[in-house]
Chain A
Amino acid sequence: METAKLEQKEFEPTILAFCCNWCSYAGADLAGTSRFEYPTNVRIIRVMCSGRLDPTFILSALRWGADGVLITGCHPGDCHYVQGNYMMERRFAFLKEAMGQLGIEPERLRLEWISAGEGEKFAALIRDTTQKIKQLGPNPLKAT
């Protein structure tokens, strides 16, 4: 009985994914049309470009209890807006460092490039990220 209860309460992380309208959001759609299954832990927010993502969006997500944040954009050279993904990449480096200083495991934040044709990669990424965040456990900011 006890074990059954414990199993029921297995940690289910909440992961927030930011997808750009032109590549990675389309890649996520393709995962759906191709019926590639993945865990239900991810909530996708569509933005026009990964370059739109103000670092405060990510920090706010962590403050509000996201166990993981996934940023996805077009592959280098493929950005619909030429170089938005490079700008995000720079902010990503800074964010990782800031997270370390704030006592949040930097591994909770991930940046990946997904093209509109990479439905399978998207599904695999969600599976992998969910697995990794599960291992990390809940966001330490959640308890405070």
Chain B
Amino acid sequence: MSEEEPKIGVFICHCGVNIGGVVNVPEVVKYAKTLPNVAYAEANIYTCSEAGLASIKENIKKQGLNRVIVASCTPRTHEPLFRSACREASVNHYLFEMANIREQCSWVHKHQPEKATEKAKDLVRMAVARATWLEPQEEPELEIKDTSLVIGGGIAGLTAALSLANQGFKVYLIEKDPVLGGNLRRLSKLYPTMQDTQDILEPALKAVKSSDKIETLLSTAVSDAKGYVGNFKVTLAKGEEKRDVDVGTIVVACGAVAYTPPKGLYQYGEYPNIMTQMQLDEILKEGKVEKAPERVVMIQCVGARKGEIRAMDLAGFPKSDTARLLGKILKAKKEEGWPYCSKICCMNAIKNSILIKEKFPQTDVMILYGDVRVYKEYEDFYSQAREAQVKFVKHIEEIPPEITQTPDGKLAVVAYDALSGQEIKLPCDWVVLSTPMIPHKEEVLLARMLKIPISSDGFLMEAHIKLRPVDTQMDGIFLAGAASGPKDVPESIVSAKAAAARAGTLMANKKMRTEALTSVVNEDECIGCGLCEEICVYGAHYLEEGKSHTIAALCRGCGACAAECPRRAISMQHYSDEQILSQVKAALTEES
């Protein structure tokens, strides 16, 4: 409790009839006045109206209030508004508290007005108890460095780097391979326009090369990352050579790779001419086919939409155990395949089948599928393939096709036609396996270094799949391209531009404030066991000289460390033990 004697003002909202039509508001006001430390209480028709907010400010001055409670709707929508009213009247906005008597009372108890009124009184009493323990907090202000690091030089990374450079920011663009371009370097043409990949890649490469804002570092990877939004210190490694860069934001565009089946899966690696779609792309790109194949059989969903690995498995691993974790993931994936639909493979198979048909009209192309998933204009693309006499055969996926070599050195695919239920035998020259886009194995290490969670599919996870699709849980780190899941070129470009815009907005503001909900270590109690450091997913705790310390800018205020600390040496600002326990006690007893 702060030294000043608490003087609490309680403003109880009718919300028109929303609350007032169920809860007896005047009775709650009368009750609030009897509670300890309450200096003032009133009812408002709408506390969020101009008049309501003016009354809060006026009474802070007139009654000398140093705590404010509004009993109305949910803090999730209106807390910021009331907090700013407090601030305007010189009351620190962390000394504000809400009692949710609409969403969690009047609206759910509309046929029990008396009981709802009693509950509203309890909720106000709980808020008063908590408010008594509230303390003013200062929100730390952070400087944001106006330099960005883009990890990955594929089309997403190139696009993000260019977009940031065009906004006027300095960019470090790093690529682990000795050349820029990523997967696009291997692909021949792009669906559905059948554009040459060079048409897209070359202009981007030229623009990056000629930009004086972009410093490109090839054969370079991240080896360590420290810091927080606005102030990251990233160690880059080129072989043995190391270099530190200080950046304000990071765009992760590490992309994805085409899954290579293990030897033996669909006889891959056992016979020649069994290849993946990516390898077919390369063959078509080089254009060096000696003899037109008589028949090509493509098999969809190879190693995709099968097997399972959950984020839970990943979360359980301590940080020190990354190597074992990696082994586990790779083993699980190898044996069982990847659980998700990779989204691009249907279009890619259609594209390659059309390319084969264009080149060798006599070649018979058959696609064995479980489902064909084409959307939007790709439906036309599918029709185009059918018109070109590409044959689509729905097969029974539970019985995987078997591939054998015929005495004349050709291949034969044995599958089960789902429509007739009959076994079909397809002699052919090439078998092409459509495999999913999967995360890089280095991605796990990168995720650990940057403290970005991994989704159940093994990709880097966005902060919110709908509302914050290019943000990560870590402020200042954004995702572009296939790092967050399979994407085709247009989608990669869109997400790269979005990520660059998000990073640019932060850097253009130069400063930001972070919420004061952070952990604080009581050094007298801390025994330096390191449990907080071990469990904190944000790396906000570190041990120094046998004591734990909080890096406020990294702490997100979840409070896990405070709950786990065996010495109760960690306190959470704005959610302290006293604050929570006072509410618990007030909910259950009339004392506080």
Could you tell me which A residues sit within 8 Å of B by CB distance? 14, 16, 21, 25-26, 28-29, 31-33, 35-38, 40, 43-49, 51-57, 60-61, 64-66, 76-77, 80-84, 86-87, 91, 123
Q: What residue in chain A is nearest B537 (Cβ atoms)? A: A82
Q: For chain B, which range describes its interface: under 10, 10 to 19, 20 to 34, or 35 or more residues?
A: 35 or more
Q: How far is the CB of A43 from chain B (nearest CB, A)?
A: 4
State whether B312 touches A54 (Cβ < 8 A).
Answer: no
Q: Which residue of A lies closest to B122 (CB)?
A: A43
At the interface, yes or no: B585 with Cβ under 8 Å from chain A?
yes
CA separation between A87 and B560, bound complex, in Å? 8
Provide a sorted-by-A list of 10 A–B residue pairs whose CB atoms are within 8 angstroms: A26-B76, A32-B108, A33-B107, A40-B116, A45-B584, A47-B559, A66-B584, A81-B560, A83-B315, A86-B312
| CB pair B108 A48 closer than 8 Å | no
Shortest Cβ distance from residue B329 to the other chain A in the assembled complex, whole angstroms: 16
Q: Are A35 and B564 in contact (CB under 8 A)?
A: no
Query: Using Cβ atoms and an 8 Å threshold, which residues of chain A touch B568?
Result: 54
The answer to whether A51 and B74 touch (CB under 8 A), given A35-B110, A38-B108, A86-B316, is no
Alpha-carbon distance A21/B559, docked complex (angstroms)? 12
Q: What residues of B have a CB within 8 angstroms of the CB of A83 in the complex?
A: 315, 537, 560
Given contacts A29-B103, A65-B589, A77-B456, contact A49 B560 (CB under 8 A): yes
Q: Are A37 and B584 in contact (CB under 8 A)?
A: no
Which residues of A are found within 8 Å of B110, using beta-carbon distances? 35, 37
Q: Which residue of the partner chain, among A36, A43, A64, A66, contacts B126 with CB atoms under 8 Å?
A: A43
Known A51-B563, A52-B560; judge A45-B583 contact (CB<8 A).
Answer: yes
Q: Show the binding face of B for A, using Cβ within 8 Å.
A: 74-76, 100, 102-105, 107-112, 115-116, 118-119, 122-123, 126, 310-312, 315-316, 453, 456, 473, 517, 535, 537, 556-560, 562-564, 568, 572, 575, 577, 580-581, 583-585, 587-589
Interface centre among B103, B119, B560 (most CB of A within 10 A): B560
A1 to nearest B CB, angstroms? Answer: 22
Given the known inter-chain contacts A40-B116, A52-B562, please indicate yes or no for A47 contacting B580, CB distance below 8 A: yes
Q: How far is the CB of B404 from chain A (nearest CB, A)?
A: 42
Which residues from B are CB-within-8-Å of A65? 588-589
**Minimal Cβ-Cβ distance residue in B for A64:** B588
Is the Cβ of B588 less than 8 Å from the Cβ of A45?
Answer: no
Chain B contact residues, majority secondary structure = helix
**Least CB distance, A78 to chain B, in whole angstroms:** 9
> Bound state CA distance, A101 and B315, in angstroms?
31
A35 near B575: Cβ-Cβ < 8 Å: no
Assembly CA distance A114 to B584 (angstroms): 21
On whether the beta carbons of A123 and B76 are closer than 8 Å, the reply is no
The answer on a CB contact under 8 Å between A77 and B108 is: no
Task: Determine the chain A residues whose CB is within 8 A of the CB of B453 once the complex forms.
Answer: 82
B126 adjacent to A40 (CB under 8 Å) = no
Contact A76 B108 (CB under 8 A): no
B589 touches A64 (CB 8 A): yes
Nearest B residue to A116 via CB reads B76
The 5 closest A-B pairs by CB, nearest first: A32-B103, A52-B559, A81-B558, A32-B107, A51-B560
Q: Which residues of B contact A60 (CB under 8 A)?
A: 581, 584-585
Is B315 a contact partner of A40 (Cβ separation < 8 A)?
no
| A52-B575 contact, Cβ under 8 Å, with A57-B580, A83-B537 | yes
Contact between A64 and B315, CB atoms less than 8 A apart: no
B104 touches A51 (CB 8 A): no
Which chain B positions have C-beta within 8 A of A76?
310-312
Q: When the two chains form their complex, are residues A77 and B310 in contact, meaning their CB atoms are under 8 A apart? A: yes
Contact of A87 with B535 at beta-carbon distance under 8 Å, contacts A44-B100, A51-B558 already known = yes
Cβ-closest chain B residue relative to A81? B558
Taking A16-B587, A87-B535 as contacts, is the C-beta distance between A40 and B112 under 8 angstroms? yes
